[in-house]
Amino acid sequence: MTTEPNGPTDQYSIETKDLCLWYGDFQALIQVRVRIRQGIITSLIGPSGCGKTTLLRCFNRVNERYGNVTTTGDVRVLGKNIYDEDVSLPELRKAVGMVFQRPNPLPISIYENVAFQLKVHAEPGSLSKRERDQAVESALKEVLLWDAVKDSLHKKATGLQLEEQQKLCIARLLPLKPQVILMDEPCSALDARGTEAIEDLMSVLRERYTIVIVTHNMAQARRASDECIYMLLGRIVEHGPTLDVFLRPNHKDTENYVEGRYG
Amino acid sequence: MNWRLLGERAIETLIRVCGVSAIVFVFGIFVFVLKEGWEFLTHRLDLVQFFTSIEWRPTSPNDPTYGALALLAGTAAVTAVAMAIAVPFGLGTAVFVSEFCRPRTKEALKIVIELLAAIPSVVWGFIGITLMNVTVIAVTGAPVGVNVLNSGVILALMSMPIIVSIGEDALKAVPDHFREAAESLGATRWQVVYKVLFPAAKNGLLAAVLLGVGRAVGETMAVLMATGHSIRMVFDSEPPVLHVLSPARTLTATIAAELGEAPKGSDHYQALFVIGLLLFAITFAINLAADLIVRGIRKE
């Protein structure tokens, strides 16, 4: 018997079933059922407050930082329900990395930022300094930041320009090869040039990583994603190939939103 | 109309006077202390003896000596013991209060810690003489229970509140997105604390420690009661050891104990004011350092 490398369940990086989430009494996600394909860029769009960021933050359970969150249902990442009792959060977050709206490099050096996960997750002493240096270098090269920072690796990361900071925030996810990269409006703090740079980077990283991006910028969703999910009031309204969602939406709500009639 | 304007002016002036008065008072106290010890300091005090001799015999009829080294060492020893206890405990408490405990525990803890700060120092001295005295003898087998260790523990408890509250402020000032970033990278809560918060808040934490040191150096009544008040050199240089079970005497306690007996204007009286100046200089330097460090944070 041979196992198919891309069996039907392996094609999806994230699958949710009956996912509901409450902030206190307010239900922010209602019966969300979604399957996100592996190795492509999926965008989450919808008006403010529709739950898209909340949904994204469920995928690595970073929502739970706030005490009053209740989650029910399943979220399967590569076949494993991440809300099971035996799931270790550090392991989950190693597999599912996140890029935030405002670039948030840690207030330590550029090098230490990229090596942070290696140090947090690896057994002490299991990785030589040389191996670590190489991992840092290749991560920074992958995000096209190496040439700009190679002479200032030990300077504080918080001193970089915003665009560089955001690239660094992506680079620091790479040394441990995550399966999924979540991006929460990663360009909203950047200018047009920075936005373009990050989008170019996303297309480079595509295929090696599954990318889910929340965006307010519909043009960005349209040009930078393969599939698109439209959400409204905590529910998924539509999910399909991006061009279909934009050009041939099945729902009136989707059509109104993508045409800019509200939101 | 004119009256209202006048009232406005008067109140403005009053507020200005209040603001400036702090400077006037500090400066005034310094000038007063300096003036009282000036003549002795400039004419008869042997500064080399003052800083290197352990012979503090100001009342000797034939040959009074003014060596403050043992007193300085006493202050240093008691402060060092206090900080060895208060810094890890204080910063630990600050981390617990700011990062780990639930809001309710946090409120309760903060109230208790403030209460700790409100206990009068003479009450601490009282605890030193009675409870701590017995405990130190029972635990260490020392012949005398009022010693460096005893007052170090008391001072540690007295300087904890300031370390905790300034340290907590420093941790609270670290923006939450740093914690979020580190957690989303898979760091555990403890890793977040020592890999992210400590580096981010290091200036504030250092300032907290320095203010704790300042508190310990300046404390008088509790150490007067709990050190045993005997002039002894508590440090040995060969080999270097600190005798924590030896009684000692501090700079502050010396002033408090002797000033009442020294005839006004006598050499002894003036020598005590010179000690006051020394204390002034030490605490001023510590507070200034803490202040500059805190300012450093703001600039970042």
* DSSP state string for B44-81: T--HHHHHH---EETT-SS--EE--HHHHHHHHHHHHH
Per-residue pLDDT tens for B4-58?
889 999 999 999 999 999 899 989 999 999 999 999 989 888 888 899 988 899 8
B141, B260: one domain: yes
Question: Is A110 contained in some domain?
Answer: no
B203, B122: one domain: yes
Q: Which residues contact A49 (CB under 8 A, 6 or more apart)?
A: none
Structure-token match 């069996």, residue found = A7
Whether the Cβ atoms of residue A137 and residue A146 lie closer than 8 Å to each other: yes
Interchain proximity A89–B195, CB inside 8 Å: no
User: What pLDDT, on the 0 to 100 scale, is given for residue A10?
Assistant: 53
Question: Is A100 contained in some domain?
Answer: yes
Chain A contact for B257, CB < 8 A?
Answer: no
Per-residue pLDDT tens for B269-291?
999 999 999 999 999 999 888 88
Mean pLDDT to the nearest integer, B125-134: 93
Q: Which residues of A touch B183 (CB under 8 A)?
A: 62, 65, 93
Question: Is B56 contained in some domain?
Answer: no
B10, B112: one domain: no
Q: A-B interface: how many C-beta pairs under 8 angstroms?
A: 62
Per-residue pLDDT tens for B101-113?
888 999 999 999 9
User: What pLDDT, on the 0 to 100 scale, is given for residue B292?
Assistant: 86
B111, B258: one domain: yes
Question: Is B60 contained in some domain?
Answer: no
Of A90, A92, A173, the CB nearest to B188: A90
Categorize the per-residue pLDDT at B1 as very low, low, confident or very high, splitting at 50, 70 and 90.
low
Mean pLDDT to the nearest integer, A185-207: 86
* Better-scored residue on pLDDT, B234 or B169: B169
Question: Is A241 contained in some domain?
Answer: yes
Query: Which domain covers residue A46, as residue numbers?
Result: 12-104+177-258
| CA atoms of B216 and B157, how far apart (whole Å) | 10
Rounded CA Rg of chain A: 19
User: What pLDDT, on the 0 to 100 scale, is given for residue B240?
Assistant: 82
Whether the Cβ atoms of residue B259 and residue B265 lie closer than 8 Å to each other: no
Interchain proximity B186–A92, CB inside 8 Å: yes
Q: What is the CATH number of the domain that holds B240?
A: 1.10.3720.10
B28, B139: one domain: no
Structure-token match 């005590």, residue found = B272
Per-residue pLDDT tens for A227-252?
999 898 888 888 988 888 888 888 88
Compute CA distances B230 → B62, B71, B144, B278, whole Å.
Answer: 22, 10, 12, 20
How many domains is chain B partitioned into structurally?
2
Residue of A nearest to B190 (CA): A120
Question: Is B54 contained in some domain?
Answer: no
Question: Percentage of chain B surpassing pLDDT 70?
Answer: 98
Residue of B nearest to A109 (CA): B199
Query: Which domain covers residue B295, as residue numbers?
Result: 69-299
Question: Is A71 contained in some domain?
Answer: yes
Per-residue pLDDT tens for B226-273?
998 888 888 887 788 888 898 999 999 999 999 999 898 899 999 999
Interchain proximity A172–B185, CB inside 8 Å: yes
Question: Is B61 contained in some domain?
Answer: no
Report the mean per-residue pLDDT for chain B. 90
Q: Which of B29, B13, B77 is nearest to B241 (CA)?
A: B77
| CA atoms of B199 and B203, how far apart (whole Å) | 8
Mutating which of B178, B183, B185 best tests the A interface, going by the most A Cβ atoms within 10 A? B185
Chain A contact for B206, CB < 8 A?
Answer: no
| CA atoms of B64 and B268, how far apart (whole Å) | 9
Mean pLDDT to the nearest integer, B200-229: 91
Chain A contact for B188, CB < 8 A?
Answer: yes
Report the mean per-residue pLDDT for chain A. 85
Categorize the per-residue pLDDT at B300 as very low, low, confident or very high, splitting at 50, 70 and 90.
low
Mean pLDDT to the nearest integer, B193-210: 90
How many domains is chain A partitioned into structurally?
1
The neighbour count for residue B179, using CB atoms within 10 Å, is 21
Q: What is the CATH number of the domain that holds A246?
A: 3.40.50.300
Compute CA distances A136 → A119, A145, A207, B27, whole Å.
Answer: 12, 11, 21, 55
Q: How far A43 CA sits from the closest chain B CA (Å)?
A: 20
- Least confident range from A192-206, B89-103, B212-226: namely A192-206
Of A65, A102, A108, the CB nearest to B183: A65
Residue A151: pLDDT above 80? Answer: yes
User: What pLDDT, on the 0 to 100 scale, is given for residue B125?
Assistant: 93
Question: Is B32 contained in some domain?
Answer: yes
Q: Which residues contact A113 (CB under 8 A, 6 or more apart)?
A: A105, A106, A157, A168, A172
Q: Which residues contact B89 (CB under 8 A, 6 or more apart)?
A: B156, B160
HSE-CB at A120 with a 13 A cutoff on CA atoms is 30
> ipTM value of the model?
0.84
Strand, coil or helix: what is A19? strand
Chain A contact for B184, CB < 8 A?
Answer: yes
Per-residue pLDDT tens for A95-124?
899 999 888 999 888 988 998 888 888 777
C-alpha B50: how far from its chain's center?
A: 22
Residue A7: pLDDT above 60? Answer: no
User: What pLDDT, on the 0 to 100 scale, is given for residue A9?
Assistant: 42
Residue A4: pLDDT above 60? Answer: no
| CA atoms of A69 and B287, how far apart (whole Å) | 44
B288, B242: one domain: yes
Categorize the per-residue pLDDT at A8 as very low, low, confident or very high, splitting at 50, 70 and 90.
very low
Of A62, A105, A107, the CB nearest to B180: A62
Compute CA distances B123 → B127, B174, B176, B255, whole Å.
Answer: 6, 36, 40, 20
Per-residue pLDDT tens for B65-84?
899 999 999 999 999 999 99
| CA atoms of A156 and A159, how far apart (whole Å) | 6
How are beta strands A180-184 and A227-232 bridged, if at all?
unpaired
Per-residue pLDDT tens for A47-74?
888 888 999 998 988 888 887 888 888 8
B136, B206: one domain: yes
User: What pLDDT, on the 0 to 100 scale, is given for residue A2?
Assistant: 39
Mutating which of A65, A116, A119 best tests the B interface, going by the most B Cβ atoms within 10 A? A116
Which strand (E) or helix (H) includes residue A30? strand A26-37
Q: What is the DSSP letter of A123?
A: P
Mean pLDDT to the nearest integer, B176-189: 90
User: What pLDDT, on the 0 to 100 scale, is given for residue B298?
Assistant: 58
C-alpha A155: how far from its chain's center?
A: 27
B213, B122: one domain: yes
Categorize the per-residue pLDDT at A6 as very low, low, confident or very high, splitting at 50, 70 and 90.
very low
User: What pLDDT, on the 0 to 100 scale, is given for residue B35?
Assistant: 92
Mutating which of B99, B179, B184 best tests the A interface, going by the most A Cβ atoms within 10 A? B184
Burial of B243 (0-12, 13-18, 19+ CB in 10 A): middle
Categorize the per-residue pLDDT at A39 as very low, low, confident or very high, splitting at 50, 70 and 90.
confident
